[in-house]
Amino acid sequence: MDTSLQTDIPAWVDGALTPVEKLRVHQLGLKHKAVSVFVMADDAVLIQRRALGKYHTPGLWANTCCTHPLWDEADIDCANRRLEQELGITGLTPEFRDQVEYRADVGQGLTEHEVVQIFVATAPKSLRVVPNPDEVMDWAWMPLDALHADIAARPERYTPWLRIYLAQFAEQIFPK
């Protein structure tokens, strides 16, 4: 079993933020903390295709990276940690953009109910990306207009949260 599933993440239980095992959080659909990062190069966003070994939504395209902060981990530290762990990206300066909340069925009886700190970083398209094969099976730069169009045409290729981000929160994440 993936040992990262045994990690405690910050979740709300009876109104109080409490450390709860990650898999249990998703089985119960508990509201919990999350961080999502979008790396941009002009009008293109760096997206990743989740590795087939992921315990939910394997093989689907997602934003640059997303995760749950560790207990007592600062959100910006979490954003930088996951950029490096998932994609080998270092040296960027993610900037806080907004906080959003969503709830989505991610299959296999699991639910993401996240309060997400959104970060955006800018980079050149020549950015060195070295994906961790346990996390990421592919990556691409995609212009935002093309991403919106492809999600509309083939939503099954994308994670529920990326579809939600672009449908409900695009103006907060990508202000004109």
Catalytically active residues, by annotation: 66, 114
Measured from the Cβ of residue 109, the count of other Cβ atoms closer than 10 Å reads: 10
Query: Distances from the Cα of 113 to the Cαs of 120, 145, 146, in angstroms?
Result: 21, 27, 27
Measured from the Cβ of residue 159, the count of other Cβ atoms closer than 10 Å reads: 22
Q: How far apart (Å, rounded) are the C-alpha atoms in residues 77 and 11? A: 18
Q: Helix or strand or coil: residue 53?
A: coil
Question: Are the beta carbons of 129 and 87 closer than 8 angstroms?
Answer: yes
Question: Are the beta carbons of 32 and 68 closer than 8 angstroms?
Answer: yes
